[in-house]
Amino acid sequence: MQGRDSERQASLLLLAAGNSQRLGRPKQLLMYQAETLLRRAARIVLASLCHPIIVVLGAQAEKMQAELKDLPVITVFNGIWPTGMASSIRIGIEHLILQDEIGAVVVMLCDQPGVDVEAINKLVIAYRTTNAPIVAAKYNGTHGVPALFARQFYPALLALTGSQGAKSIILAHAAQLTEVSMPEAAFDIDMLADYERFVED
């Protein structure tokens, strides 16, 4: 892939390394409609405009890998996942840099089950049409992930530390931001009560 077409191409980084301490068990392995949240998220993004799909694993990596074994995603292992989300972002971006033709990356979590293919594609389409270096979901009066970052922001993503996530970069560069309304991204699963509410709806 070369030239302008490659510059408009977006990969996707699916963060799935944590152990969901507040929930008490990895949320990635929670079941919904006969599949885990991890597999569901991977299946959704595989149908999107993003390619390749990179999944960062950490806690219970073997179980997570088993959920993905027949899906055409790239898995990378974060051996220092307990240090926080930033390490997973760094490891994913380091791998992505090897794919030097890719112009942007969408950063996504497994715990926003309302996010679908259409939502992810809106980010990519906005990037291609506006040329904005950051395209972020807007919900609950703020901006956050899923969000797309052009290649010029890879160094900022690599510089994240500890529990810092991509939102810190979004907020620090509001002048370069294009927003996509995504109310469905407002709901995330942090506690068991969140999961129970999700499966009951």
Average of per-residue pLDDT across 71-91: 96
Q: 131 lies in which domain range?
A: 3-200
Please determine, for residue 1, whether its predicted confidence score (pLDDT) is greater than 60.
no
Vertex 92 angle, CA 88 and 95, to 5°: 145
pLDDT digits (tens, 9 = 90+) for 167-185: 999 999 999 999 999 999 9
CATH number of the domain that 57 lies in?
3.90.550.10
Task: Annotate the chain with DSSP letters as a single string.
Answer: --HHHHHT-EEEEEEE----TTTTS-GGG-EETTEEHHHHHHHHHHTSS--SEEEEEBTBHHHHHHHHTTS--EEEE-TTGGG-HHHHHHHHHHHHHTSTT--EEEEEESS-TT--HHHHHHHHHHHHHH--SEEEEEETTEEEEEEEEEGGGHHHHHT--TT--THHHHHHTGGGEEEEE-GGGS----SHHHHHHHHH-
Query: pLDDT above 90 covers what percent of the chain?
Result: 76
Lowest mean pLDDT among 142-151, 161-170, 188-197: 188-197
In the block, tokens 């510089």 appear at 159
State how far the Cα of 105 lies from the Cα of 124, in Å rounded to an integer.
Answer: 9
Instruction: Provide the token pair at 15.
Output: 């963060």
| Domain total of the chain | 1
Q: Quick check: pTM over 0.85?
A: yes
pLDDT digits (tens, 9 = 90+) for 34-48: 899 999 999 999 999
